[in-house]
């Protein structure tokens, strides 16, 4: 464990937040998990319990590891409960206004030396840091979904991020047993700058009638050895998040090649956001996922 960081706060108990809390607790950190509603915190804790049990079942961790990790994750129902944290990671919705509001609310509760990080998948770290009271102790720590499984963490420095903050974040990723890559602060960083245009292109391929949902996903799974097809992956990430990232790329890089596919917009407008709403490019309400087109 990094000597500088002992207690970690996670804001947002959704799929990314509970994953970050999970891996941090397993690595020995004290974790405080916060969300707007108590019920969401409880749901996040239940998911962590379920995913740890899954890892015991497959022999990746022991029963003792599971118990010890669970005991290290505590609910933080108000931001004041994050007051002892050395590092607080925001993992809320991919929406700049929401994130800015969170930083404005949480900063007064933090100790002055605490570091603040965002798990944003595309938004400018420099701009988000400016909404905090500590741009030199602010950094992008971008995890991949599912956090307990994926090896990579992207580190992104804002213009003001100090060397000490960067080194502490790097040490934290090592302590988690993961690998970091460093990206400059540009829209989408590295992974999503490359991954999301591929997913968006797959949606265009569907929109133009070049292939069906099944044909597109089978083509990329068997033809390019991707573990999931691009439409399956879009549903897994969340179509609202996919659209937000494409909009950040489109606006931030001002190039028409990043134009979000109108079909993606339509699915989001319908509230068909993928796995989390049980419907996206697949319908998950039955026993097996069924393509929706
Ligand atoms: N917690 C703990 N363990 C989990 C888990 C979770 N949430 N999800 C899956 N696992 C484990 C399973 O228990 C299983 O473990 P064992 O190998 O020890 O048995 C292992 O992961 C594989 O899972 P499954 O057998 O259930 O299924 P699979 O072989 O189809 O793999 C997958 C599932 C790992 C998700 C795989 O399909 C995959 O790698 N998909 C691509 C994921 C990807 O690209 N993620 C990046 C998304 S982009 C992103 O996150 C950035 C962004 O900002 C949008």
Any residues with Cβ below 6 Å from ligand 1, and which? Answer: 51, 54-55, 58, 60, 121, 144-146, 148-150, 191-192, 195, 227-228, 233, 237, 241
Nearest CA to ligand 1 atom 25: 58
Among 121, 122, 132, 200, the active-site one is 121
Contacts of 131 (CB under 8 A, 6+ apart): 99, 100, 103, 104
For residue 237, the ligand 1 atom closest to its alpha carbon is: 54
Q: Quick one: which of 68, 63, 55 has its CA closest to 28?
A: 68
pLDDT score, position 135: 98
Q: Has 184 been annotated as catalytic?
A: no
C-alpha–C-alpha distance, residues 9 and 284, integer Å: 32
Interval 80-116: pLDDT, tens: 999 999 999 999 999 999 999 999 999 999 999 999 9
- Ligand 1 pocket test, pick from 16, 146, 183, 239 with the greatest ligand atom count within 8 Å of Cβ, gives 146
Nearest CA to ligand 1 atom 33: 227
pLDDT score, position 2: 46
Q: What is the mean pLDDT of residues 184-191?
A: 97
Q: Is 65 exposed, middle or buried (0-12, 13-18, 19+ CB in 10 A)?
A: middle
Nearest CA to ligand 1 atom 4: 149
Are 234 and 242 in contact by the 8 Å Cβ rule? The answer is: yes
Where does the pLDDT of residue 4 fall: very low under 50, low under 70, confident under 90, or very high at 90 and above? confident
């Amino acid at each position: 464990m990094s000597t500088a960081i002992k207690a970690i706060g996670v804001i947002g108990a959704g799929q990314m937040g509970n994953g970050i809390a999970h891996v941090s607790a397993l690595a020995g950190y004290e974790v405080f998990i916060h969300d707007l509603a108590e019920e969401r915190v409880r749901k996040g804790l239940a998911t962590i319990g379920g995913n740890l049990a899954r890892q015991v079942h497959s022999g990746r961790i022991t029963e003792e590891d599971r118990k010890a990790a669970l005991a290290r994750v505590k609910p933080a129902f108000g931001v004041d409960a994050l007051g002892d944290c050395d590092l607080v990671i925001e993992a809320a919705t991919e929406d700049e206004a929401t994130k800015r509001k969170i930083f404005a609310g949480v900063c007064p509760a933090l100790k002055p030396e605490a570091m603040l990080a965002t798990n944003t998948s595309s938004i400018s770290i420099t701009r988000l840091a400016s909404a905090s009271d500590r741009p030199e102790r602010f950094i992008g720590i971008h995890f991949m979904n599912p956090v307990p499984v994926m090896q990579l963490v992207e580190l992104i420095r804002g213009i003001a991020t100090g060397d000490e903050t960067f080194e502490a974040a790097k040490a934290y990723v090592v302590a988690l047993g993961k690998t970091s890559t460093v990206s400059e602060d540009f829209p989408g960083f590295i992974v999503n700058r490359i991954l999301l245009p591929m997913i968006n292109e797959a949606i265009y391929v569907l929109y133009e009638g070049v292939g069906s949902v099944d044909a597109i996903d089978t083509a990329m799974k068997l033809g390019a050895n991707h573990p999931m097809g691009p439409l399956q992956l879009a549903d897994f990430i969340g179509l609202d998040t996919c659209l937000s990232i494409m909009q950040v790329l489109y606006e931030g890089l001002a190039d028409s090649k990043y134009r979000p596919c109108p079909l993606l917009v339509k699915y989001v407008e319908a509230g068909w956001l993928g796995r989390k709403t049980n419907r996206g490019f697949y319908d998950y309400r039955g026993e097996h996922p069924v393509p929706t087109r």
